């Protein structure tokens, strides 16, 4: 296995895609929140690399091609938004206010937790972009001099948790309005939350797609202020 990954330029991406395809196929048969395809793919990939004694740098030589697709994949989320353009126009003020409230709450929580845990400034700014899509979060973390690799991990964890438990939380708090649910998924759990929102309905998916973009832009604007608080 070690030699295969070392010798092949596409072994990393092949392993990742095969595992993800297998887990998504199983997910259709096992309707269980904890059985998240992305989470399982990460865990299985790590297990394979550890068992085969493969360095991350070696694996990433092939897997890096997946990262190149992040930005175009995010742009594609504009399609369901275009299809629900009238819904956006009818609820523009409420949508912008809702996304701002979500972004502000996320940043405030990171600040409070960092204070409680006595984190350093660099550790603190590393966590600030946790709820925005990776394509934007990497740039924010670099600009604030955070630990980019940790930022990516935190963004993935946030998205996975939102994907897994977002629908349950909506049911607990009786959030049934499609626009509200979509905005919650996109603002709190970025693209991974949006993938779940699309499963719930077209309106949820469109609003979540919008929230991903707007939350990313708002975070870029607001985060320098929060970055100077510690």
Domain boundaries, the chain: 2-68, 75-227
d(CA 100, CA 118): 27
pLDDT at 193: 92
- Asked if the model's pLDDT at residue 2 lies above 70, the reply is no
Taking CA atoms, 162 is separated from 39, 77, 145, 184, 224, in Å, by 12, 18, 26, 9, 25
3-state secondary structure of 175: coil
Q: What is the largest CA-CA distance in the chain?
A: 58
CA distances from 159 to 107, 130, 132, 191, 195 (A): 16, 9, 9, 7, 10
For 165-187, write each residue's pLDDT tens digit.
999 999 999 999 999 999 999 99
Question: What's the average model confidence in pLDDT over 38-50?
Answer: 87
User: Is a pLDDT exceeding 70 seen at residue 126?
Assistant: yes
Percent of the chain residues topping a pLDDT of 90: 47
pLDDT at 59: 82
Can you give the pLDDT at residue 103? 96
pLDDT tens column, 57-70 = 888 777 777 777 76
Tokens of 33: 């929140």
pTM above 0.85, yes or no: no
- Supply the pLDDT for residue 6: 64
């Amino acid at each position: 296995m070690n030699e295969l990954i070392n010798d092949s330029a596409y072994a990393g991406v092949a392993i990742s895609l095969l595992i993800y395809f297998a887990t998504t196929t199983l997910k259709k048969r096992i309707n269980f929140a904890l059985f998240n395809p992305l989470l399982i793919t990460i865990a299985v990939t790590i297990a394979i690399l550890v068992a085969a004694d493969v360095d991350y740098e070696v694996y990433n030589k092939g897997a890096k091609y997946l990262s190149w697709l992040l930005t175009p994949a995010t742009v594609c989320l504009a399609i369901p938004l275009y299809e629900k353009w009238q819904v956006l126009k009818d609820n523009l003020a409420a949508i912008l206010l809702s996304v701002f409230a979500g972004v502000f709450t996320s940043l405030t929580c990171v600040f409070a937790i960092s204070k409680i845990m006595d984190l350093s400034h660099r550790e603190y700014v590393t966590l600030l972009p946790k709820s925005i899509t990776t394509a934007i979060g990497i740039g924010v973390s670099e600009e604030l001099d955070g630990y980019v690799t940790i930022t990516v991990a935190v963004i993935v964890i946030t998205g996975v948790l939102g994907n897994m438990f977002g629908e349950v939380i909506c049911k607990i708090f009786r959030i049934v309005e499609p626009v509200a649910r979509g905005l919650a998924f996109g603002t709190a759990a970025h693209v991974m939350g949006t993938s779940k929102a699309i499963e719930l309905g077209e309106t949820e998916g469109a609003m979540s797609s919008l929230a991903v973009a707007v939350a990313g832009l708002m975070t870029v604007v607001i985060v320098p202020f929060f970055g100077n608080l510690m």
